[in-house]
Structure 1
Amino acid sequence: MGIDNKLLTEFKNRFDADSTNQVIKGAIAKVGINDASLDNNVLRRHSFEFSNETKRGTMTNQKSSGRCWMFAALNTARVDTMEKLNMESFEFSQNYTLFWDKFEKSNYFLDSILETLDEAQDSRIISHLLMDPVQDGGQWDMFSGLLEKYGAVPKSAMPETFHSSNTSKLNEVLTSKLREFACQLREGHHAGSSLDESTAKKESMLYFIYSVLVKALGEVPETFDYSYRTKDGEYCRIKDTTPQAFFKEYVGWDLTNLVSLLNAPTEDKPFGRAYTVKYLGTVKEAKPIQYINVPIQALKEAAVASIKDNQPVWFGCDVGKMLIKDAGIMDEHSYHYELTLGEGSGLTKAQRLDYGDSLLTHAMVFVGVDLDEQGQPLTWKVENSWGDKVGKKGIYSMSDKWFEEFNYQIAVDKKYISEKWLKALEEPTIELEPWDPMGALALVK
């Protein structure tokens, strides 16, 4: 049935009959939907005081890039570095890990093209692979693979460049060239090239990617010196170390002990099982990404246990939902859309995932939690990577209900996780399709 004038007249009369619509439409036209719908009382519910806090460094800023997952991971790791070096604050080079991420993603993409040479050009998997081969996003286990292979360096060893802080044009150049390489590999295969011949071509393709990355991001250090002062004012210098040695000595994580917990309460993902996503990765030889899907309470319990032990917690969420960005508040009641628009959201968390209304869009760090007398969370202290001009000097406060609705993933040491859930790692890992929403954080631009 089409839209006719009778229906339009009915809608207009219905709208005009409600006098509050006249006030609301004026307010929204002037300040926008969010400001017109803001529940000002939400500001009173977030004191930004927390009963349990971890150590943290000074605020970081990912600028015009989608490196949130890197910033969050390195901001988590630096707490151990600050402790070992007796420093007030410390910052790793996010440019260093960006370089290797772009390079490894390019290799992963080209290998994926070689693995799918017999797929039809219009197949969904080929369309997916070509969509965003070297975007900025990533998953916890993808970053774990980078740390395992390449280590990490202080920011002074590989500072930011224009394109590390502004990645869009670099991504555009690399993406266009990788699609061209994919075309060459696929057309060569259909013209009769052997897999060995196609694989040999890949090396020259990777050299082009490497050369662009060096020009845009700078040369990566093989060895470096690092000078610093302790919080007591003592001058110190670490001489002639490597990125791998620096990470091992001054972070010291056993990366095999760090586990991702997921909360995806959809019918296709039973709790208590481990999952991975097909064709999602960075370092080809690293272990595949892996999550254990658990009830939301299990995420909370593991995060609280880690924070109480002074260990910050990396997490992935749908940050745009009910966010008051400037105030630094994530609260399920931030906006009264039902009052201004007539209806709020009626979808459950599972339905939002199933119908494409929510997915992982941003990674940050839990650096505190406010617990009530029974030890239950009230609000969560969040360290973001958008600089200190938003939130409370970069710090955000998240209500516990917002955690339940819009937080999807945390990464913690397995010692903070119940054995009940760790048993999932002993069973076969279930493969999710490449376009599953649980892989979405890796597609952040």
Structure 2
Amino acid sequence: MMKITKESLANYKDRYNGNATNKVVQNAIAKVGINKSSVDNNMTRRHNFVFSHETEKGDITNQKSSGRCWMFAALNTARVDTMEKLNVKTFEFSQNYTLFWDKLEKSNYFLDSIIETVDEPLNSRLVQHLLQDPVQDGGQWDMFSGILEKYGAVPKSAMPETYHSSNTRELNQLLTAKLRDFAAKIRENHKSGKTKDELVELKEDYLYFVYALLVKTLGEVPESFTYEYRDKDEEFHRIHEITPREFFEKYVAWDLEERISLINAPTDDKPFGKAYTVKYLGTIKEAQPIRYVNAPIDALKKAAVQSIKDGEPVWFGCDVGKMLDREAGIMDDKAYDYEATLGESVELTKGQRLDYGESLLTHAMVFVGVDLDDEGNPIKWKVENSWGDKSGDKGVYSMTDKWFDEYNYQVAVKRKYIDEKWLKALDEPVVELEPWDPMGALAMVK
């Protein structure tokens, strides 16, 4: 065993003081922080926010103090079709409506999982994983696809934001506490001899509490609504009494089964060309399990480029906090020169970052453009974010293609944009990943 000694500390100090630039860097970091001291000033020259191919998009949205990025990204993707069908310049779906159903369905999913695992030891890794964060804001593409399939979608005016839809922390804390309370009651009732059928009956009362809490904090969900609007030509329109599912089916008209998730997880335990799911991960219990195909990063790029060329924006999930200048709205693998300021940069590969807990999917956004060179290769990507219009180019971000390589993990596109050799994986048995696998991470960054 080696320990830090007085001699070690003296050696460290001498080495530090022996480098004259260390003091200069120390003073700069003390004044403005590591990132601003390390920023590459040539970064903005690489990002002129001009792109060779672009899709339509609506006005920039703002998820505020909530982790609903995956919902915003999915609805911002869907609204492009709605804008065309309604002939409007912009449109916004109610993210509060989908948040309500996500919270209720996640609560049901969690309680069902607790009932399924009542014979597991309380301190087992699985049960502790389930209890860790049962009803956070985050999610993935397939989880939202299930919500759209079951509940449809409504315009923002049909279920506007409330304080707690835009500020979810207190709601999540209380709901999490009650769900853990219910979990304890379920396990105690099982110990006292209640059958699983009897536990399911108990669950109904627990879900009523959740439903009532959500109505009080988010509002009552509309069973039907009337929508009025003016189109691009200033003509007035009124859509009479329509249900959320009817609205989605008519004014988005997606075949959700045709939209496939590709992931890029270059780790030894996940060979390319296989379909994967994650145990105990989902929102709607009866929906199809999460399923995605692991493929090389170029397969994700090719599918995204083809979609954008056809005018269709692309939902994607990434590790947004890496090499991000949030104020400038730039994601650039060379954004910060840590080697110049700190002496070394992080040298992990993408696969190693996943394996060693240094990276995972944290945020979802939408590709609404790409800049291709003369040979058709991506240079940079145009990104629609949901953090308001105060950062980037009025809410639009720019991403280098190399950043895509390193920190992008998932895209959801139509089947027709994916090479057949990757689609074959969907006809083979799906590989189940453990609940704590990094590819079970949820997009939820605020």
Distance of 1:411 and 1:357 partners within structure 2: 24
SS in 1 for 2:227: strand
Give runs of aligned pairs for residues 82-161 of structure 1, distance below 5 A. 82-161=83-162
SS in 2 for 1:276: strand
Q: Gaps spanning 5+ residues in structure 1: where?
A: none
Distance of 1:443 and 1:44 partners within structure 2: 30
**Which residue matches 1:435?**
436
User: What is the letter of the counterpart of residue 137 of structure 1?
Assistant: G
Displacement of 1:4 after TM fit?
A: 1.2
Instruction: Tell whether the 8 Å contact from 1:227 to 1:237 is kept in structure 2 after alignment.
Output: yes
Distance of 1:217 and 1:339 partners within structure 2: 49
Displacement of 1:425 after TM fit?
A: 0.2
Give runs of aligned pairs for residues 21-420 of structure 1, distance below 5 A. 21-420=22-421
TM-score (normalizing by structure 2): 0.99
Displacement of 1:2 after TM fit?
A: 1.5
Q: Gaps spanning 5+ residues in structure 2: where?
A: none
Displacement of 1:442 after TM fit?
A: 5.2
Distance of 2:195 and 2:75 partners within structure 1: 42
Instruction: Tell whether the 8 Å contact from 1:48 to 1:381 is kept in structure 2 after alignment.
Output: yes
SS in 2 for 1:364: strand
For the aligned residue pairs, the C-alpha RMSD in angstroms reads: 0.7
SS in 2 for 1:50: coil
Displacement of 1:439 after TM fit?
A: 1.2
Distance of 2:347 and 2:300 partners within structure 1: 24
Instruction: Tell whether the 8 Å contact from 1:63 to 1:165 is kept in structure 2 after alignment.
Output: yes
Instruction: Tell whether the 8 Å contact from 2:69 to 2:444 is kept in structure 1 after alignment.
Output: no
Instruction: Tell whether the 8 Å contact from 1:57 to 1:79 is kept in structure 2 after alignment.
Output: yes
Distance of 1:197 and 1:236 partners within structure 2: 51
Displacement of 1:196 after TM fit?
A: 1.2
Distance of 2:55 and 2:445 partners within structure 1: 27
User: What is the letter of the counterpart of residue 233 of structure 2?
Assistant: D
Offset from partner CA, 1:94-126 (integer Å, 9 cap, x none): 000000000000000000001101000100001
User: What is the letter of the counterpart of residue 296 of structure 1?
Assistant: I
Distance of 1:232 and 1:262 partners within structure 2: 41
Distance of 2:55 and 2:432 partners within structure 1: 35
Offset from partner CA, 1:368-406 (integer Å, 9 cap, x none): 000000000000000000000011100000000000000
Offset from partner CA, 1:155-211 (integer Å, 9 cap, x none): 000000000000000000100000000000011111111111111000000000000
Instruction: Tell whether the 8 Å contact from 1:37 to 1:336 is kept in structure 2 after alignment.
Output: yes
Instruction: Tell whether the 8 Å contact from 1:316 to 1:361 is kept in structure 2 after alignment.
Output: yes
Distance of 1:47 and 1:90 partners within structure 2: 27
Distance of 1:196 and 1:347 partners within structure 2: 49
Distance of 2:439 and 2:197 partners within structure 1: 34
Instruction: Tell whether the 8 Å contact from 2:363 to 2:444 is kept in structure 1 after alignment.
Output: no
Distance of 2:86 and 2:267 partners within structure 1: 44
Distance of 1:52 and 1:324 partners within structure 2: 23
Instruction: Tell whether the 8 Å contact from 1:138 to 1:444 is kept in structure 2 after alignment.
Output: no
Instruction: Tell whether the 8 Å contact from 2:147 to 2:284 is kept in structure 1 after alignment.
Output: yes
Aligned-residue identity in percent: 70
Instruction: Tell whether the 8 Å contact from 1:136 to 1:444 is kept in structure 2 after alignment.
Output: no
Distance of 1:199 and 1:103 partners within structure 2: 16
Instruction: Tell whether the 8 Å contact from 1:132 to 1:443 is kept in structure 2 after alignment.
Output: no
Count of matched residue pairs: 445
User: What is the letter of the counterpart of residue 299 of structure 2?
Assistant: A
Instruction: Tell whether the 8 Å contact from 1:306 to 1:313 is kept in structure 2 after alignment.
Output: yes
Instruction: Tell whether the 8 Å contact from 1:65 to 1:166 is kept in structure 2 after alignment.
Output: yes
Offset from partner CA, 1:334-364 (integer Å, 9 cap, x none): 0000010110011000000000000000000
CA pair 31-46 structure 1, distance change in 2 beyond 3 A:
same
SS in 1 for 2:66: coil
TM-score (normalizing by structure 1): 0.99
Distance of 2:443 and 2:408 partners within structure 1: 16
SS in 1 for 2:42: helix
Displacement of 1:22 after TM fit?
A: 0.6
Distance of 1:73 and 1:318 partners within structure 2: 17
Displacement of 1:443 after TM fit?
A: 6.5
Say whether residues 1:11 and 2:12 are aligned partners.
Answer: yes
